[in-house]
Amino acid sequence: MTPVRILLLLIALIPHLAIAKTPWPHDAKNSCISRCADSMSAQGLSKQNATSYCSCAADGMEKEFGMEEYKQMMNAQPNPRGSSDDRRLHSAVSACQKYLRR
């Protein structure tokens, strides 16, 4: 990668990096993980994998959206070809796929 491309990449990332993401309230995050794990377990995923997946997904969503963009996240669908928010949500949860083994 040339120095010019690296510079352009850094310039493109600066606005995204400059926005500090406010963490979710601890109780709200734990409640989200619990509801998610219960739902995933009901669909046949082991309780351990469900909890691991949901914790991973919540961490990714919190890091990507923070409280500032919680509403956008809730309106998004994890779609790699969707809107910008859809793609961000997909990216945040796709790293957790390893836990979806039954």
State the pLDDT at residue 100.
85
- From the list 75, 73, 76, 32, the residue with the least C-alpha distance to 53 is 32
Q: Can you give the pTM of this predicted structure?
A: 0.76
Q: How far apart are CA 72 and CA 83, in angstroms?
A: 11
State the pLDDT at residue 3.
52
Q: How far apart are CA 101 and CA 40, in angstroms?
A: 11
State the pLDDT at residue 20.
59
Q: List the domain boundaries for the chain.
A: 23-100
Q: Residue 68: CB partners within 8 Å, gap ≥ 6?
A: 19, 21, 22
Low-confidence ranges of the chain (pLDDT < 50): 7-9, 14, 16-18
> Residues 102, 63: contact at Cβ < 8 Å?
no
Start-end of H helices in the chain: 3-18, 26-42, 47-65, 70-75, 84-94
State the pLDDT at residue 98.
87
State the pLDDT at residue 18.
47
